[in-house]
Structure 1
Amino acid sequence: MKKLYVVLSVACACMTAGCDKKDILNTTAKDRIDAENFFNTATDLEVYTNGFYDMLPNTDVYLDDTYSDNIIPLIVDERVKGARVVPASSANTGWTWEHLRSINYFLQHYRKCPDEAAKLQFGGIARFFRAYFYYNKVKTFGDVPWYNKVLEADDPDLYKARDSRKLVMDSVLADINDAVASIPAAVQLNRVTKYTALLLKARICLFEGTFRKYHHLGDHEKFLAEAASAADELIASGAYTLYTAGGVNECYRDLFARTDQDATESILVRDYNPVYGRHGLSYLMTSPTAGVYGIPKDMINSYLMKDNSRFTDIPGYNTMEYYEEMQDRDPRLTQTTPGPEFTAYRETAREPVNLGITTTGYRVIKALTTRDQWGPVSSYNDIIIFRYAEALLVLAEAKAELGTLTQADLDRSINKLRQRVGMPGLDMAAANSHPDPYMEAMYPNIDQGPNKGVLLEIRRERRIEMFNEGLRWDDLMRWKEGKKLEKPMVGMYFPSLGAFDFNNDGQADVYLHDGDPSGAPPGTTSIINVNQKRLTNTTSGYFNPLYSTPRVFDESKDYFYPIPLEDLTLNKHLEQNPNW
């Protein structure tokens, strides 16, 4: 595989070499590429647009859920605690604009190339990235200034006010539609193609449509219809399908843990290998001093039984011990967190239980690769940025929110995901006639219409299928469910201190004590002091990693980030987001 982020020519590298940390829109620096002598060939256009791929995430895709209610890390993020403050400068805030200047410079000059096919393709790629750029800006800050030209120091628009969300998102929709129409329909793991553009369009329009609906902004139907249309076009193309190698008990785990991706389900991938470079994801999942990631119990409870019945309908579900709660569940559960018979990837010997490397008792193993890659910066499994499964979820959700969903739509979307892991399909009539009260409590702001039950099931499916892929925070924000972050985030349940057999083999695996570990049976692999790893009731209850961490979500302001103070000072026409 080619590396996604191609090393650019010296000329292209010069494009940003003169930029310092200061916001590019607020400097007088000139672009280093001389348009008079560049943009003349298809190669010129390709080399320039290669630089845009730096905008895409790398391992951050598999880290963003640690800043939500999906994963509780050792150090809890400020936005989860409700402790964000207005930053002094724009560094590391998202309020940066250099990528936009680069895109607009390309769009200002690329038409001089005589190669019509190249202009169509790479012009479409530039608009793909401008749509991606502004989508991230709007979901972070709301209204933002829309710029479709290169700004110089004397341009009066440099210090203009923010444009309306409607204007910006209509412009984003125009850009992504142009990308879909212009970029060839090729299957390429490491390049933006028509299919990548279709999935980005589906993601953008689902976000915007549901945000408008649940935040009561109006005109949501247009974006939801566009989301459903884009997802439907991608599905109907037949270019991708779901990855099923290894069977129902292995395929989901293998999709993310394998070293090299293929184009079965993966649409756009960041390539890693021992030559091009490595990352540290597996280290964060296995080190007792690094990420120490833990999945909260409400996520574990959300997985259905293998027969599609609800785990949370079982009497006493919330005080089941580990071995019992892991039995006969959706196979994705034990491909996301270790089950009783957990083995390291591609090994056969049972892995010793180790609760010291997780905050909640439920470890994260999605994208955890072979043991030789567990060291610091030792992993080289590819990172999936866009995959086909998301299109199936978008189709179902967009149509359900519009009120046009049918059982046939579910059978070609959500039920394909369940079929992949050997589970029965979702029945729309049954879901709507008996909405899940556990899910209702999780999402009180959901549409209360006739599709409430199936919408709850689609949200369940989305959280499970797309877990640890960087979408959860955005989902809570667009559904106006920020208060979910205030609900208990606890872990595994223990009825008492003492010894526990996690795999039902007669041997203790875990021993909980309150200062004296001497009673641990021989061979116990995980000895936990509850004075350090707290339980909700001191000597019983749930692991409680956030026992001393207050969490507040302020509905009046926390759906957006604040604009940095230096930018408000530089541009008197900017206004701060409400209540910041």
Structure 2
Amino acid sequence: MKRIYKISVAIVTLLAGCSKSGLLDKDTKDSIDAQKFFNTATDLQVYTNGFYEMLPTYTLYTDEDSKSDNLIPLSVDARVKGARIVPPTNASTKWVWDDLRSINFFLENYQKCTDDAAKLKYGGIARFFRAYFYYEKVKTYGDVPFYNKVLSANDPDLYKGRDSRKLVMDSVLADINYAVANIPKEVKLNEITKYTALLLKARICLFEGTFRKYHSLGDHEKFLTEAAAAANELIASNAYKLFTTGGAATAYRELFARNDQDATETILARDYNTTYGRQSVGYLMTAPTAGVYGIPKDMIDSYLMKDGTRFTDQPGYQTKGFYDEMQNRDPRLTQTTAGPDFSVYKETTREPVNLSITTSGYRVIKGLPSRDQWGSLNSYNDIVIYRFAEALLVLAEAKAELGTLTQTDLDNSINKLRARAGMPNLNLAAANASPDPYLEYWYPNVDQGLNKGVILEIRRERRIELFNEGIRWDDLMRWKEGKKLEKPMVGMYFPGLGAFDFNNDGKTDVFLRTDNTTPAPAGTTSIINVNQKRLTNSTSGNFNPMYSTPCTFDEKKDYYYPVPTEDITLNPNLAQSPNW
């Protein structure tokens, strides 16, 4: 299997030198002579290979979701706490412009190539990455300076101010449309194709359309219409389908845990293997001194019952014990978190309960590979960057937000995902007739029209299906639901201290105590001192990993990041992000 390219980075870096502050102001005189490059299809391929470094690595799993309400790590991220500050420099920020200069340098020179097919393909790939670059910038900062040329040190545009979000996103749309029109229809697991461009377009346009709608920016219909159209084109191509190997009980877990992706559902993956390089997903999910991620209870509670009814409609759902709350649920629940009968991937023996590797009690297993890959930098399962399931979710949400969703649309999108999981269909009329009050509590800023109920259900489906794939923060931001971060993020419930049987086999798995000396029953695999792993009511209640970390979200400024102070100083025309 071919990997996402990591060759020729040195060439691209040399061609695209940038200044110490991240501004696009370095002359090309120190670059490779463009007249001696960009002459053949191979030249274009070699150069554009370097753009793939812009794409996520293995930290897409766990790292991004741990900076949202989907995962609670040992150390809560500043943006979740509401503790971001204006950075002094662009180090470790997204206010870096090197990649854009590389892309624009390519676009100014690639037409020298005499291979017309190669120019269309690689020109399309370059514009795919420019769309990707600016999409990331707008998500982070809102209005940003737009550059479609290489800047020299004396270019007056170097120190211009921010361009409007509308101008930038219209340019992003033009770039991604060019990519869709000109990159070939190929199914290639580790390369950008027309299908990758369609999915990126669907993602970009759904984000922008809903952001404009819920932040009252206007003109949201255009982007939602484009999102639905791009998703529908990808679906109608029949180039991909959902991965179902193993059936409802295992397919979802298998999709992410296996070592090597295939192009059944996966549109683009980053390849890791024993030859090219390894990563640390297995270590981060299992080491008691590393990630120690925990899934919050509101996520666990959002999974439906296996018959399609709401778990949160059951009396006393908040105080159910672990074994009981895991019974007869959406099968994706115990393929995402370790359930009562959890066994390690590729093993059959039930794994002992271990609460020392999770803050909330609910440990993450989605994407967890086989045990031999749990050491630091010892995992080599591929990382899924784009997959077909997202197109199904985009189609449903865009049409619901536009008010054009039909039952046929649901059957062609959300209900395919539910079928893969062995779940009943989502019914449009029933969802809208009875919006889920549990979801209404978490998402008060939802459209209050006739599609309110189904939009909430689509949000449920999206969170469950795309959990731990790095999308959750963007979803909260575009829905204008930042205040959700202020609501309690707690873990599993315990009625008091003592012994607990997590798998209903008559043996103690977990023992809670207030000291380190009270003896636990023989065979107990997880002994917890509640003075160290806190409960909400001292000796009872939910695990409370954020007891000392109050979260705040300032609606006036926290939907965007601040620009580094150094860049504001260097460019007096560059305004700081609102209210920072």
Compute the displacement of 1:421 (Å).
Answer: 1.0
**Which residue of 1 is the match for residue 38 of structure 2?**
39
Over residues 34-91 of structure 1, what are the superposed CA-to-partner deviations in whole Å (9 max), with x where a residue is unaligned?
1111111000110010011011111121120000000000110000000000000011
Q: Is the 8 A contact 2:59 2:281 kept in 1?
A: no
**Which residue of 1 is the match for residue 274 of structure 2?**
274
The list of structure 1 runs, each at least 4 consecutive aligned residues, that deviate by more than 6 angstroms after superposition, is none
SS of aligned partner of 1:440 = helix
- For normalisation by structure 2, the TM-score amounts to 0.99
Please say if 1:297 is aligned against 2:297: yes
Runs of 5+ in structure 2 lacking a partner? none
Compute the displacement of 1:30 (Å).
Answer: 4.2
Distance (Å, rounded) in 2 between the aligned partners of 1:578 and 1:4: 37
Over residues 303-341 of structure 1, what are the superposed CA-to-partner deviations in whole Å (9 max), with x where a residue is unaligned?
000000000000000000000000000000000001100
Q: Is the 8 A contact 2:25 2:151 kept in 1?
A: no
Compute the displacement of 1:11 (Å).
Answer: 4.1
Amino acid at match of 2:43: D
Compute the displacement of 1:288 (Å).
Answer: 0.6
**Which residue of 2 is the match for residue 570 of structure 1?**
570
Q: Is the 8 A contact 1:3 1:272 kept in 2?
A: yes
Which residues of 2 match residues 231-380 of structure 1 at below 5 A?
Answer: 231-380=231-380
Compute the displacement of 1:551 (Å).
Answer: 0.6
**Which residue of 1 is the match for residue 204 of structure 2?**
204
Distance 1:358 1:10, change over 3 A: closer
Q: Is the 8 A contact 1:355 1:361 kept in 2?
A: yes
**Which residue of 2 is the match for residue 459 of structure 1?**
459
- For normalisation by structure 1, the TM-score amounts to 0.99
**Which residue of 1 is the match for residue 494 of structure 2?**
494
Distance 1:10 1:559, change over 3 A: closer
Q: Is the 8 A contact 2:19 2:25 kept in 1?
A: no
Identity across matched positions, percent: 72
**Which residue of 1 is the match for residue 545 of structure 2?**
545
Compute the displacement of 1:207 (Å).
Answer: 0.1
**Which residue of 2 is the match for residue 168 of structure 1?**
168
Please say if 1:98 is aligned against 2:98: yes
Distance 1:219 1:9, change over 3 A: closer
Name the stretch that deviates more: 4-13 or 109-118. 4-13
Distance (Å, rounded) in 2 between the aligned partners of 1:143 and 1:531: 47
Distance (Å, rounded) in 2 between the aligned partners of 1:39 and 1:31: 17
Distance (Å, rounded) in 2 between the aligned partners of 1:443 and 1:257: 31
Distance (Å, rounded) in 2 between the aligned partners of 1:495 and 1:5: 52
**Which residue of 2 is the match for residue 133 of structure 1?**
133
Q: Is the 8 A contact 2:146 2:168 kept in 1?
A: yes
Distance (Å, rounded) in 2 between the aligned partners of 1:13 and 1:496: 59
Distance 1:449 1:112, change over 3 A: same
SS of aligned partner of 2:518 = helix
Compute the displacement of 1:14 (Å).
Answer: 3.0
Compute the displacement of 1:24 (Å).
Answer: 4.1
Compute the displacement of 1:275 (Å).
Answer: 1.1
SS of aligned partner of 1:568 = helix
Which residues of 2 match residues 417-428 of structure 1 at below 5 A?
Answer: 417-428=417-428
Distance (Å, rounded) in 1 between the aligned partners of 2:217 and 2:518: 61
SS of aligned partner of 1:518 = coil
Distance (Å, rounded) in 2 between the aligned partners of 1:55 and 1:273: 20
**Which residue of 1 is the match for residue 407 of structure 2?**
407
Which residues of 2 match residues 75-94 of structure 1 at below 5 A?
Answer: 75-94=75-94
Amino acid at match of 1:576: Q
Amino acid at match of 1:472: R
Distance (Å, rounded) in 2 between the aligned partners of 1:34 and 1:524: 68
Compute the displacement of 1:5 (Å).
Answer: 2.1
SS of aligned partner of 1:25 = coil
Amino acid at match of 1:54: E
Which residues of 2 match residues 112-191 of structure 1 at below 5 A?
Answer: 112-191=112-191
Amino acid at match of 2:259: T
Amino acid at match of 1:428: L
Q: Is the 8 A contact 1:12 1:33 kept in 2?
A: no
Q: Is the 8 A contact 1:317 1:325 kept in 2?
A: yes
Distance (Å, rounded) in 2 between the aligned partners of 1:198 and 1:31: 37
Please say if 1:223 is aligned against 2:226: no
* RMSD of equivalent CA atoms: 1.1
Q: Is the 8 A contact 2:272 2:381 kept in 1?
A: yes
**Which residue of 2 is the match for residue 480 of structure 1?**
480
Compute the displacement of 1:23 (Å).
Answer: 1.0
Distance (Å, rounded) in 2 between the aligned partners of 1:519 and 1:446: 50
Q: Is the 8 A contact 2:127 2:179 kept in 1?
A: yes
Distance 1:500 1:413, change over 3 A: same
Amino acid at match of 1:314: Q
Distance (Å, rounded) in 1 between the aligned partners of 2:541 and 2:9: 59
Compute the displacement of 1:476 (Å).
Answer: 0.2
Distance (Å, rounded) in 2 between the aligned partners of 1:564 and 1:523: 54
Q: Is the 8 A contact 1:21 1:91 kept in 2?
A: no
Distance (Å, rounded) in 2 between the aligned partners of 1:514 and 1:578: 47
Please say if 1:50 is aligned against 2:49: yes
Amino acid at match of 1:208: E
Distance (Å, rounded) in 2 between the aligned partners of 1:90 and 1:289: 29
Distance 1:42 1:549, change over 3 A: same
Q: Is the 8 A contact 1:562 1:577 kept in 2?
A: yes
Amino acid at match of 1:240: Y
Q: Is the 8 A contact 1:182 1:194 kept in 2?
A: yes
Distance (Å, rounded) in 2 between the aligned partners of 1:45 and 1:112: 10
Distance (Å, rounded) in 2 between the aligned partners of 1:118 and 1:5: 18
Distance 1:516 1:473, change over 3 A: same
Distance (Å, rounded) in 2 between the aligned partners of 1:21 and 1:291: 32
Q: Is the 8 A contact 1:497 1:513 kept in 2?
A: yes
Over residues 139-195 of structure 1, what are the superposed CA-to-partner deviations in whole Å (9 max), with x where a residue is unaligned?
000000110000000000000010000000000000000000000000000100000
SS of aligned partner of 2:34 = coil
Compute the displacement of 1:549 (Å).
Answer: 0.4
Q: Is the 8 A contact 2:512 2:527 kept in 1?
A: yes
Distance (Å, rounded) in 1 between the aligned partners of 2:56 and 2:201: 17
Runs of 5+ in structure 1 lacking a partner? none
Compute the displacement of 1:9 (Å).
Answer: 7.6
Amino acid at match of 2:144: V
Which residues of 2 match residues 491-570 of structure 1 at below 5 A?
Answer: 491-570=491-570
Distance (Å, rounded) in 1 between the aligned partners of 2:96 and 2:538: 46
SS of aligned partner of 2:324 = helix
Amino acid at match of 2:37: F
**Which residue of 1 is the match for residue 22 of structure 2?**
23
Q: Is the 8 A contact 2:19 2:26 kept in 1?
A: no
Compute the displacement of 1:15 (Å).
Answer: 2.4
